[in-house]
Protein backbone atom coordinates (compact mmCIF):
# COMPACT_ATOMS: atom_id res chain seq x y z
CA UNK A 1 0.00 0.00 0.00
CA UNK A 2 1.39 3.42 -0.95
CA UNK A 3 2.17 6.19 1.52
CA UNK A 4 -0.46 8.35 -0.21
CA UNK A 5 -3.11 5.68 0.38
CA UNK A 6 -2.00 5.30 4.01
CA UNK A 7 -2.32 9.04 4.51
CA UNK A 8 -5.75 9.17 2.88
CA UNK A 9 -7.04 6.33 5.05
CA UNK A 10 -5.64 7.98 8.17
CA UNK A 11 -7.24 11.32 7.31
CA UNK A 12 -10.57 9.64 6.61
CA UNK A 13 -10.47 7.87 9.99
CA UNK A 14 -9.50 11.12 11.71
CA UNK A 15 -12.42 12.93 10.11
CA UNK A 16 -14.81 10.12 11.09
CA UNK A 17 -13.70 10.21 14.73
CA UNK A 18 -13.41 13.94 15.23
CA UNK A 19 -15.71 15.46 12.63
CA UNK A 20 -12.95 17.28 10.75
CA UNK A 21 -9.30 16.85 9.84
CA UNK A 22 -6.64 18.22 12.14
CA UNK A 23 -5.37 20.85 9.69
CA UNK A 24 -8.84 22.22 9.03
CA UNK A 25 -9.62 22.23 12.74
CA UNK A 26 -6.44 24.11 13.68
CA UNK A 27 -7.05 26.73 10.98
CA UNK A 28 -10.68 27.34 11.98
CA UNK A 29 -9.83 27.35 15.68
CA UNK A 30 -7.12 29.97 15.13
CA UNK A 31 -9.51 32.27 13.26
CA UNK A 32 -12.16 31.89 15.96
CA UNK A 33 -9.66 32.53 18.75
CA UNK A 34 -8.71 35.79 17.00
CA UNK A 35 -12.41 36.70 17.15
CA UNK A 36 -12.47 35.81 20.86
CA UNK A 37 -9.62 38.26 21.46
CA UNK A 38 -11.64 40.95 19.66
CA UNK A 39 -14.61 40.09 21.85
CA UNK A 40 -12.55 40.36 25.01
CA UNK A 41 -11.16 43.76 23.99
CA UNK A 42 -14.74 44.96 23.55
CA UNK A 43 -15.81 43.50 26.91
CA UNK A 44 -12.95 45.29 28.67
CA UNK A 45 -13.39 48.59 26.82
CA UNK A 46 -17.11 48.74 27.58
CA UNK A 47 -17.10 47.26 31.10
CA UNK A 48 -19.34 44.42 30.03
CA UNK A 49 -19.99 41.34 32.15
CA UNK A 50 -20.28 37.96 30.42
CA UNK A 51 -21.17 34.67 32.10
CA UNK A 52 -21.01 31.37 30.19
CA UNK A 53 -22.21 28.18 31.86
CA UNK A 54 -21.34 24.63 30.76
CA UNK A 55 -23.26 21.55 31.84
CA UNK A 56 -23.27 17.99 30.56
CA UNK A 57 -22.56 14.42 31.53
CA UNK A 58 -19.14 13.34 32.78
CA UNK A 59 -16.64 13.27 29.88
CA UNK A 60 -18.87 15.44 27.66
CA UNK A 61 -15.92 17.69 26.77
CA UNK A 62 -16.41 20.68 29.06
CA UNK A 63 -12.75 20.94 30.11
CA UNK A 64 -11.36 20.82 26.57
CA UNK A 65 -13.93 23.24 25.18
CA UNK A 66 -13.34 25.81 27.92
CA UNK A 67 -9.58 25.48 27.40
CA UNK A 68 -9.95 26.40 23.71
CA UNK A 69 -12.12 29.41 24.58
CA UNK A 70 -9.69 30.81 27.14
CA UNK A 71 -6.38 29.72 25.56
CA UNK A 72 -5.36 33.14 24.22
CA UNK A 73 -7.44 35.43 26.42
CA UNK A 74 -6.09 37.62 29.19
CA UNK A 75 -6.11 35.66 32.48
CA UNK A 76 -6.75 38.89 34.37
CA UNK A 77 -10.14 39.40 32.74
CA UNK A 78 -11.05 35.74 32.16
CA UNK A 79 -11.94 33.35 34.97
CA UNK A 80 -12.87 29.68 34.93
CA UNK A 81 -14.93 28.55 37.90
CA UNK A 82 -15.01 24.83 38.72
CA UNK A 83 -16.11 24.45 42.31
CA UNK A 84 -15.57 21.25 44.24
CA UNK A 85 -17.61 19.64 46.96
CA UNK A 86 -19.13 22.27 49.30
CA UNK A 87 -17.57 22.67 52.73
CA UNK A 88 -19.50 22.02 55.93
CA UNK A 89 -20.06 25.76 56.24
CA UNK A 90 -21.22 26.11 52.62
CA UNK A 91 -23.82 23.38 53.07
CA UNK A 92 -25.55 25.62 55.63
CA UNK A 93 -25.59 28.69 53.34
CA UNK A 94 -28.20 29.75 50.81
CA UNK A 95 -27.62 27.33 47.95
CA UNK A 96 -26.70 29.99 45.38
CA UNK A 97 -24.38 31.87 47.76
CA UNK A 98 -21.08 30.21 46.88
CA UNK A 99 -21.73 30.62 43.16
CA UNK A 100 -22.80 34.25 43.44
CA UNK A 101 -19.40 35.40 44.72
CA UNK A 102 -17.81 34.20 41.45
CA UNK A 103 -20.05 36.19 39.09
CA UNK A 104 -18.27 38.54 36.65
CA UNK A 105 -17.34 42.11 37.50
CA UNK A 106 -17.05 44.87 34.90
CA UNK A 107 -14.75 43.91 32.02
CA UNK A 108 -14.75 40.20 32.88
CA UNK A 109 -15.85 36.99 31.20
CA UNK A 110 -16.45 34.07 33.57
CA UNK A 111 -16.94 30.47 32.46
CA UNK A 112 -18.55 28.00 34.85
CA UNK A 113 -17.39 24.40 34.40
CA UNK A 114 -20.51 22.97 36.04
CA UNK A 115 -22.56 25.32 38.14
CA UNK A 116 -25.56 25.60 40.42
CA UNK A 117 -27.14 22.99 38.14
CA UNK A 118 -25.21 20.36 40.12
CA UNK A 119 -28.36 20.25 42.24
CA UNK A 120 -30.46 19.21 39.25
CA UNK A 121 -27.85 16.70 38.04
CA UNK A 122 -25.36 14.82 40.17
CA UNK A 123 -26.94 15.81 43.52
CA UNK A 124 -30.36 14.68 42.33
CA UNK A 125 -29.14 11.40 40.83
CA UNK A 126 -26.73 10.44 43.63
CA UNK A 127 -29.05 11.45 46.46
CA UNK A 128 -26.82 14.26 47.73
CA UNK A 129 -29.82 16.55 48.25
CA UNK A 130 -33.34 16.00 49.57
CA UNK A 131 -36.47 16.13 47.44
CA UNK A 132 -37.32 19.40 49.16
CA UNK A 133 -33.91 20.88 48.32
CA UNK A 134 -34.33 19.85 44.68
CA UNK A 135 -37.86 21.21 44.36
CA UNK A 136 -36.86 24.49 46.00
CA UNK A 137 -33.95 24.80 43.56
CA UNK A 138 -36.16 24.18 40.52
CA UNK A 139 -38.56 26.87 41.75
CA UNK A 140 -35.88 29.43 42.57
CA UNK A 141 -33.39 29.10 39.71
CA UNK A 142 -35.48 30.94 37.06
CA UNK A 143 -35.83 33.90 39.43
CA UNK A 144 -32.13 33.82 40.31
CA UNK A 145 -31.14 33.86 36.64
CA UNK A 146 -33.66 36.61 35.92
CA UNK A 147 -31.88 38.73 38.54
CA UNK A 148 -28.54 38.06 36.84
CA UNK A 149 -29.91 39.23 33.50
CA UNK A 150 -31.58 42.22 35.17
CA UNK A 151 -28.27 43.27 36.68
CA UNK A 152 -26.77 43.59 33.20
CA UNK A 153 -24.90 40.27 32.91
CA UNK A 154 -24.78 38.66 29.46
CA UNK A 155 -25.71 35.08 30.41
CA UNK A 156 -25.42 32.01 28.15
CA UNK A 157 -26.14 28.37 29.12
CA UNK A 158 -24.80 25.36 27.22
CA UNK A 159 -25.64 21.70 27.70
CA UNK A 160 -23.13 19.32 26.06
CA UNK A 161 -24.83 16.09 24.99
CA UNK A 162 -22.97 12.83 24.31
CA UNK A 163 -24.05 9.24 23.66
CA UNK A 164 -23.62 6.38 26.11
CA UNK A 165 -21.12 4.69 23.77
CA UNK A 166 -19.01 7.83 23.49
CA UNK A 167 -19.02 8.38 27.24
CA UNK A 168 -17.85 4.82 27.88
CA UNK A 169 -15.03 5.27 25.37
CA UNK A 170 -13.86 8.51 26.95
CA UNK A 171 -14.02 7.02 30.44
CA UNK A 172 -11.86 4.13 29.26
CA UNK A 173 -9.34 6.58 27.79
CA UNK A 174 -9.18 8.46 31.09
CA UNK A 175 -8.39 5.29 32.99
CA UNK A 176 -5.66 4.28 30.53
CA UNK A 177 -4.03 7.67 29.91
CA UNK A 178 -1.67 8.65 32.77
CA UNK A 179 -2.05 12.33 31.87
CA UNK A 180 -5.81 12.18 32.43
CA UNK A 181 -5.83 10.35 35.77
CA UNK A 182 -6.80 13.55 37.57
CA UNK A 183 -10.13 13.56 35.76
CA UNK A 184 -11.27 10.29 37.32
CA UNK A 185 -13.48 10.47 40.42
CA UNK A 186 -15.78 8.04 42.23
CA UNK A 187 -18.74 9.90 40.73
CA UNK A 188 -17.34 9.42 37.22
CA UNK A 189 -16.92 5.70 37.79
CA UNK A 190 -20.66 5.21 38.35
CA UNK A 191 -21.82 7.67 35.68
CA UNK A 192 -22.50 4.99 33.07
CA UNK A 193 -24.26 2.81 35.64
CA UNK A 194 -26.70 5.65 36.34
CA UNK A 195 -27.11 6.60 32.68
CA UNK A 196 -30.93 6.39 32.65
CA UNK A 197 -31.22 8.34 35.90
CA UNK A 198 -29.01 11.09 34.48
CA UNK A 199 -31.14 11.16 31.32
CA UNK A 200 -34.31 11.69 33.37
CA UNK A 201 -32.62 14.37 35.49
CA UNK A 202 -31.32 16.12 32.35
CA UNK A 203 -34.75 16.18 30.72
CA UNK A 204 -36.36 17.57 33.87
CA UNK A 205 -33.61 20.18 34.26
CA UNK A 206 -33.74 21.42 30.67
CA UNK A 207 -37.54 21.51 30.60
CA UNK A 208 -37.98 23.08 34.02
CA UNK A 209 -35.23 25.73 33.83
CA UNK A 210 -35.42 26.80 30.18
CA UNK A 211 -36.74 30.35 30.12
CA UNK A 212 -37.18 33.25 27.74
CA UNK A 213 -34.51 35.25 29.56
CA UNK A 214 -32.09 32.35 30.19
CA UNK A 215 -32.63 29.72 27.49
CA UNK A 216 -30.64 26.52 27.17
CA UNK A 217 -28.58 25.73 24.08
CA UNK A 218 -27.82 22.04 23.44
CA UNK A 219 -24.63 21.02 21.60
CA UNK A 220 -23.95 17.61 20.11
CA UNK A 221 -20.65 16.80 21.83
CA UNK A 222 -19.90 13.40 20.29
CA UNK A 223 -17.15 14.78 18.04
CA UNK A 224 -14.85 17.01 20.07
CA UNK A 225 -13.55 19.18 17.24
CA UNK A 226 -17.03 19.94 15.93
CA UNK A 227 -18.16 20.66 19.49
CA UNK A 228 -15.38 23.17 20.15
CA UNK A 229 -15.60 24.96 16.81
CA UNK A 230 -19.38 25.29 16.87
CA UNK A 231 -19.60 26.26 20.53
CA UNK A 232 -17.17 29.14 19.95
CA UNK A 233 -19.02 30.17 16.79
CA UNK A 234 -22.30 30.28 18.70
CA UNK A 235 -20.84 32.32 21.54
CA UNK A 236 -19.37 34.86 19.12
CA UNK A 237 -22.57 34.92 17.10
CA UNK A 238 -24.64 35.86 20.15
CA UNK A 239 -22.47 38.70 21.43
CA UNK A 240 -21.84 41.98 19.64
CA UNK A 241 -18.30 43.34 19.46
CA UNK A 242 -16.26 45.70 17.32
CA UNK A 243 -14.63 44.21 14.23
CA UNK A 244 -16.76 41.08 14.20
CA UNK A 245 -16.29 38.80 11.17
CA UNK A 246 -19.86 37.64 10.62
CA UNK A 247 -18.83 35.05 8.04
CA UNK A 248 -16.91 33.04 10.64
CA UNK A 249 -19.39 32.86 13.48
CA UNK A 250 -22.47 31.06 12.17
CA UNK A 251 -22.67 27.64 13.89
CA UNK A 252 -23.89 24.41 12.33
CA UNK A 253 -27.49 24.15 13.49
CA UNK A 254 -27.32 20.35 13.37
CA UNK A 255 -24.64 20.63 16.08
CA UNK A 256 -25.86 23.65 18.07
CA UNK A 257 -29.57 23.55 18.85
CA UNK A 258 -31.73 25.96 20.86
CA UNK A 259 -33.48 23.79 23.44
CA UNK A 260 -37.05 22.84 22.75
CA UNK A 261 -39.08 20.02 24.32
CA UNK A 262 -39.36 18.42 20.90
CA UNK A 263 -35.65 17.53 21.19
CA UNK A 264 -36.70 15.17 24.00
CA UNK A 265 -39.95 14.02 22.39
CA UNK A 266 -38.27 13.19 19.09
CA UNK A 267 -35.32 11.41 20.74
CA UNK A 268 -32.70 13.91 19.57
CA UNK A 269 -30.97 13.88 22.97
CA UNK A 270 -28.89 10.88 23.99
CA UNK A 271 -30.86 8.09 25.67
Please name each of the domains of the chain with its CATH number: 51-223+255-265 (3.40.50.300)
Phi and psi dihedrals of 229, rounded to 5?
Answer: -60, -45
Round to whole Å and give the CA distance between 139 and 149. 17
Higher local confidence (pLDDT), 174 or 221:
221
pLDDT band at 88 (very low <50, low <70, confident <90, very high): very high
Tell if the pTM clears 0.85, that is, is over it: yes
pLDDT-derived band at 185, boundaries 50, 70, 90: confident
Contact 62, 161 (CB under 8 A): no
Element housing 8 (H / E): helix 3-18
Closest CA to 187 of 134, 131, 129, 123: 123
Rounded CA-CA distance 265/91 in Å is 36
Residue 92, Cβ density class (10 Å: 0-12 exposed, 13-18 middle, ≥19 buried): exposed
Average pLDDT of the chain? 94
Of the candidates 209, 227, 259, 247, which has an alpha carbon nearest to the alpha carbon of residue 31? 247
Amino acid sequence: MSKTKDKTDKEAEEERRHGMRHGVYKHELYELQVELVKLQKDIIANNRRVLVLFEGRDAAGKDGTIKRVTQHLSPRETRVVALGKPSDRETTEWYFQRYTEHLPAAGEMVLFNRSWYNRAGVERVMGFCSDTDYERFMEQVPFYENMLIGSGIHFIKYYLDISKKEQKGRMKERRENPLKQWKISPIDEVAVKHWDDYSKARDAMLTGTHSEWAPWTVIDANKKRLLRINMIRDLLNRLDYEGKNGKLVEPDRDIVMPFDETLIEEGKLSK
